[in-house]
Structure 1
Amino acid sequence: MKKILIPLFAVTLMVSCNTANVSNNNNKTENSSSQTVKGDKDFLSAYKTIKADDLKKNLYVIASDEMEGRDTGSPGQKKAGEYIVNYYKNLGIAFPKVLGSYYQKVPSDFMKKRGGGNLPDSENILAFIEGSEKPEEIVVVSAHYDHVGTKNGVVYNGADDDGSGTVAVMEIAKAFQSAKKAGKGPKRSILFLHVTGEEHGLFGSEYYTDNPVFPLKNTVANLNIDMIGRDDPENRGKQYVYVIGSDMLSSQLKVINEAANNKTNNLELNYKYDDPNDPQRLYYRSDHYNFAKNNVPVAFFFDGIHEDYHKPTDDPEKIDYPLLEKRTQLVFATAWEIANRAERIVVDKK
């Protein structure tokens, strides 16, 4: 997540569908294999493909020293991008035809004009599943795959920020693709958007919304995932997630997300920072904001600021993988409902 130059009040001030019923103990992290799951079989079949072990396998690659901290436009980030693209190729998930590849170039000049210094050219990565009934309507599931690179010879791996969001998007894509292969693909199209340059100024998402591959007027919602693999001191040991912005533009998105949560893992949805006047300004600090400012309803999923935020100790062995699984499943369940409901969600707030 993008760091801003305001004081953090120590670690005690934190930042950030008809589906299925899943019972769990909210005060204890447990593997989803022990949960009781009931509901629509098409949804459940896809939902169950999201697994902690798969998230862990991908995160240990994305957040490895080999990726050199994934700084914007760096060789390490490009190597991480190649891993993501090959993952989609192996799943049989294509890129948007209109784009012609998985890559949307984000030029150095674009970033320089917005305070990006001497950042080199970089790329957003886009994978796409076309809708079966309303392909022109797009649901965007996003995360940034850049981090802050290497400093003084020390690699900042960014396992939580935002390796966790990156692998969550990959798992959600796998779940939708499994449904498609079973003949139950989403009615609306899903764009899996991995953006670059977030840490330097939300550059990748800004470039996408300035140069959208699909018209923003056809973009139904953006579900943005930025840090969902840890807990913060205020919520240590709890089964929770911060949700930010879900009722800023649409009266329906928050309701859909809460219904998806109630019928799945029943996490504690924490709205503490769901306020544009929040002193941490979380609503403005991740890639969803570039969609929100273009009147696209958004929900930002976040775990809070923990002791390893933007430090070289943000490593994959510290991730709570069962909780990462549950949060990923929640975003999938929300996306499933948005993509498959009869009418697109309304924009009825300003």
Structure 2
Amino acid sequence: MRKLLVPAFLAVIMTSCGTAKTASDVSSSQNSSAVKGDKTFVSAYKEIKAADLKKNLYVIASDEMEGRDTGSPGQKRAGEYMVNYYKNLGISFPKALGSYYQKVPSDFMKKRGGSNLPDSENILAFIEGSEKPDEVVVVSAHYDHVGMQNGVVYNGADDDGSGTVAVMEIAKAFQAAKKAGKGPKRSILFLHVTGEEHGLFGSEYYTDNPVFPLANTVVDLNIDMIGRDDPENRGKQYVYVIGSEMLSSQLKVINEEANKRTNNLELNYKYDDPNDPQRLYYRSDHYNFAKNNVPVAFFFDGIHEDYHKPTDDVEKIDYELLAKRTQLVFATAWEIANRPDRIIVDKK
């Protein structure tokens, strides 16, 4: 996740977030795809396993990837691993893009303060919807980190190796459902963005140059650090959820219902507070969707003692908790992708 360095963000005032249920909340329940007794959902959900998350993370956050700095050879190696993973699952790329790679030019990043960053790439995998293919659910995470400093590798296992492998597992679960004859009704875009640590560049490039119209983008479920716990929640089964009711009165309700049906984690809304000094709503890739009026939910584990340090290593990840959080995002994406009506945007 990006450090809080940009003063301009401090000038943005977050809208207040009411918690009372509205008529649209009731509509959310009525539009439920009723996944609780859905055998295909349950089978796909069980595809998300701690052991598989660990296997992929030990590659993505290995020393071989050299901290995955934007446009670096190590980041490109991580990208190749991810692309091969999708190929092996039989998950293709968006036809309009023509490959898994969306180039993010060096000049684009330099104009936004990206110093001398080389060209880099977003990585996109895609499952087309069976009934509403033009409506797109985005599941995102950044796969870059901060690289090497003074010869020391900053592996970024939690930030955001955990989100990267979570998106990969969610894709595997949706593909398993598709193979079982029940693929998602809406399309799912698995979006791995670059340049987050330097300024949310990859997600900004995507929203400036969307492969699918933003008007057709239903939601962005963004995952940035879900493999650890912070001192405030040590040992708890929890996850921070940020921004889920900023633009839609339905999204928070859908996520909470999905949570109750699955692992029933403690959902912490601390960072939805407009007065919180961390300003986390503005600090990860979902924000580039939110500023374009796309509803978002940001899943996060908090600021822990190894944040942006070379000690953010794979051995410190809680893989069982990582799996539970990943399953929650999958369950939320499943509901949004399969419910009869698209979630509404009714807040500004």
Give the Cα–Cα distance (whole angstroms) in 2 for the partners of residues 61 and 343 of structure 1. 39
CA positional deviation for 1:19: 3.0
Equivalence for 1:172: 170
Partners in 1 of 2:198 and 2:139 — Cα distance?
21
| Paired position in structure 1 for 2:4 | 4
1:19 equivalent in alignment to 2:35:
yes
Structure 1 length-normalised TM: 0.91
Measured against aligned partners, the alpha-carbon deviations of 1:272-298 in whole angstroms (never above 9, x if no partner) come to 001344211100000000000000000
* Aligned match of 1:23: none
What does residue 273 of structure 1 align with? 271
Please, which of 213, 229, 243 is the counterpart of residue 211 of structure 2? 213
Q: Of the candidates 181, 197, 218, which is equivalent to residue 183 of structure 1?
A: 181
Matched residue count: 323
The answer to whether the 8 Å contact 1:143/1:224 transfers is: yes
SS of corresponding position for 2:272: coil
In the TM superposition, what are the counterparts of 1:180-329 in structure 2 within 5 Å? Answer: 180-329=178-327
Q: What's the C-alpha RMSD, in Å, of the aligned pairs?
A: 1.0
In structure 1, distance between residues paired with 2:50 and 2:247: 32
Secondary structure of the 1:273 match is helix
On the 8 A contact 1:276/1:282 being kept in 2, the answer is no
Could you say what secondary structure the match of 1:343 adopts? coil
Q: Give 3-state SS (helix, strand or coil) of 2:311's partner.
A: coil
SS in 2 for 1:223: strand
* Aligned partner of 1:156 among 145, 149, 154: 154
CA contact (8 A) 1:228 1:241 kept: yes
1:52-71 → structure 2 map (5 Å cutoff):
52-71=50-69
Flag as ranges the 4+ runs of structure 1 deviating above 6 A: none
Q: Deviations over 1:237-260 (max 9, x none)?
A: 000000000000000000000000
Q: 2:111 aligns with which of 100, 110, 113?
A: 113
- Percent identity of equivalent pairs: 89
- 2:212 & 2:275 partners in 1: Cα distance? 31
Q: Deviations over 1:9-61 (max 9, x none)?
A: xxxxxxxx4334xxxxxxxxxxxxxxxxxx31011010000000000000000
Aligned equivalent of 2:122: 124
Question: Amino acid of the residue matched to residue 293 of structure 1?
Answer: K
Partner SS for 2:232: helix
Can you list the C-alpha shifts for 1:156-191, whole angstroms capped at 9, x where unaligned?
Answer: 000000000000000000000000001000000000
In structure 2, give the amino acid aligned to 1:253.
Answer: L
- In structure 2, distance between residues paired with 1:306 and 1:206: 26
Q: How does 1:31-42 map to 2 (within 5 A)?
A: 39-42=37-40
Distance 2:347 2:66 in 1: 42
- The AA in structure 1 aligned to 2:232 is E
Code of the residue aligned with 2:108 in structure 1: it is: F
Correspondence 1:146 to 2:162: no
Q: Please, which runs of 5 or more residues in structure 1 have no aligned partner?
A: 7-16, 21-38
Distance 1:345 1:240 in 2: 25
**CA 1:73–1:276 in 2, change beyond 3 Å: closer, same or farther?**
farther
CA distance in 2, matches of 1:42, 1:309: 37
- CA offset digits 1:298-328 (Å, max 9, x no partner): 0000000000000000000100000000000
SS at match of 1:55: helix
Residue 184 of structure 1: SS of its match in structure 2? Answer: coil
Larger fraction in helix: 2
Match of 1:336 in 2: 334
d(CA) in 2 for partners of 1:120 and 1:143?
20
- Provide the C-alpha distance between the structure 2 equivalents of 1:40 and 1:88, rounded to a whole number of angstroms: 25
Q: d(CA) in 2 for partners of 1:298 and 1:275?
A: 16
Query: Matched residue of 1:72: which SS?
Result: coil
> Is the 8 Å Cα contact of residues 244 and 275 (structure 1) preserved in structure 2?
no
How far apart, in 2, do the equivalents of 1:212 and 1:152 lie?
Answer: 37
Instruction: After superposition, give the CA deviation of every residue in 1:62-82 in whole Å (9 maximum; x if it has no partner).
Output: 000000000000000000000
Whether the 8 Å CA contact 1:91–1:177 is kept in 2: the answer is yes
